[in-house]
Structure 1
Amino acid sequence: MKILLLEDDELLAESLAEYLEMDGDEVERVAGGEAVFDATFAKNYDLYIFDINVPDLNGLEVLRALREAGDDTPAIYISALTDIASISRGFEIGAVDYLKKPFDPEELRLRIRRIFREKEKEGILKYGAIRFDPASGRVEGVGEAPFYLGEVQSRIFELLLERKGSLVSSEELMELLEHPGSNALRVTLAKLKKRLGIEITNVRGRGYLLETL
């Protein structure tokens, strides 16, 4: 996952980033609220972790601005504030969780995993910055605007995602084509790779592999 961490305590930010990166996540750190807008303009993230009391613009106002702009990225607040009003306001704005400082980094990691287990149950599949809805074929996180895959490309991408990190045989993939054949499969996969900007490895004579990020 790509995580944006808003935290002005440099030591805490560094330790949290190092801990989360042990799981293979990519963490980008910013110290002020205004810097969040620069970061989110430049790239997409899977998760926001925001402190509230930070320079420039507090974490509550930052998330409010993002939500008003249509950004629905899950957000967790971490804060020393313990008053019910602040906690309630955070949830009203659109946070999915709230963690009071000080806390064990492992608790943060567990809460993150819980959030994404629940999102997976909603049917949205994720691959890096890509968010894919197999039911509709809708793709987000590639380019500036969402788009839709056709039925065949959707079925193939869904299978590769479900089996990412494992080899999928050519025979299984060809069964998803309207007119099965090795040439047709190669063309379909080439178009899918180009459209999504992903790498699908051809294991000669065996099948295809979508690497785990």
Structure 2
Amino acid sequence: MEKRILLLEDDTALGETLVELLEERGYRVDWARDGAEAADFSFDTLYDLYLLDINVPEIDGLELLEGLREADDTTPVIFISALVDLNTIARGFGLGAEDYIKKPFSPEELLIRVEARLTRSTGRIRFGTLEYDPLRRVLKKEGALVSLGEVQLCLLDLFLKNPGQVIDKEVLMECLEHPSSAALRVAISKLKEKTGLEFTNLRGVGYAVQKC
């Protein structure tokens, strides 16, 4: 599955160059020209990496990152900026940035840093066309957000963390507000309908999600 990157850059020429460079490497890139637009993108889409300029209109890159972290968004961040004062850099790392690239930079340097960051584990679970972030409790199917209720999220978490394994129905029913075998069957049926997952029912024991 292709990796998705959100680029925040208000310089049109540089933005166009970076989008072309990253897309040539197979990344899917959304380009925001100001911090408010970047915030909207981050609300609607689950990204693998943020590339953020700092000195941009509306909401600067540091304020954006602060808001993302307060919202429990743990997506890795690389700052790309001409700002070099130590206080700014220190604040960026203090807010949770993983890297900092000073403008101007070579395309090769950017790609090396991006690829190094994206090869590290993000804790996300990929299962067929699904991508699940257990920290944010967010599910995407073919890149689109899937809305699930608390019961469905609880069941999904158990199944995707234990693919192919039969989970005892008593454990699964702990996700239900009013536990019963019938209620569990209905909940799993709804989860299947929304996600496309296939389940195996070992009668009297429990359920397992079928491996892709």
TM range (shorter): 0.5 to 0.7
In structure 1, what is the equivalent of residue 118 of structure 2?
116
In structure 2, what is the equivalent of residue 94 of structure 1?
96
The 5 A counterparts of 1:1-213 are 1-119=3-121, 124-126=124-126, 130-131=131-132, 140-142=138-140, 143-144=146-147, 147-148=153-154, 149=156, 154-156=161-163, 194-196=193-195
Alignment partners' CA distance in 1, 2:48 and 2:196 = 17
Q: Is the 8 A contact 1:45 1:129 kept in 2?
A: no
Unpaired stretches in structure 1, ≥5 consecutive residues: 157-172, 179-189, 199-207
**Secondary structure of 2:119 counterpart:** helix
Q: Is the 8 A contact 2:54 2:79 kept in 1?
A: yes
**Secondary structure of 2:29 counterpart:** strand
Stretch deviating more after TM superposition (141-150 or 16-25)? 141-150
Equivalent position amino acid for 2:38 in 1: V
Alignment partners' CA distance in 2, 1:150 and 1:89 = 34
Equivalent position amino acid for 1:107 in 2: E
In structure 2, do the counterparts of structure 1 residues 111 and 126 end up closer, same or farther at CA, with 3 Å as the change threshold?
farther
In structure 2, what is the equivalent of residue 184 of structure 1?
none
Alignment partners' CA distance in 2, 1:12 and 1:152 = 43
Equivalent position amino acid for 2:116 in 1: R
Alignment partners' CA distance in 1, 2:130 and 2:99 = 21
Alignment partners' CA distance in 2, 1:87 and 1:125 = 32
Alignment partners' CA distance in 2, 1:19 and 1:80 = 20
**Secondary structure of 2:75 counterpart:** coil
Unpaired stretches in structure 2, ≥5 consecutive residues: 141-145, 168-188, 198-209
Sequence identity (%):
41
**Secondary structure of 1:45 counterpart:** coil
C-alpha deviation, 1:126, in angstroms: 4.0
Tell me the C-alpha RMSD between the 2 structures. Answer: 3.3
Equivalent position amino acid for 1:84 in 2: L
Equivalent position amino acid for 2:132 in 1: R
Q: Is the 8 A contact 1:153 1:192 kept in 2?
A: no
C-alpha deviation, 1:108, in angstroms: 1.6
In structure 2, do the counterparts of structure 1 residues 5 and 129 end up closer, same or farther at CA, with 3 Å as the change threshold?
farther
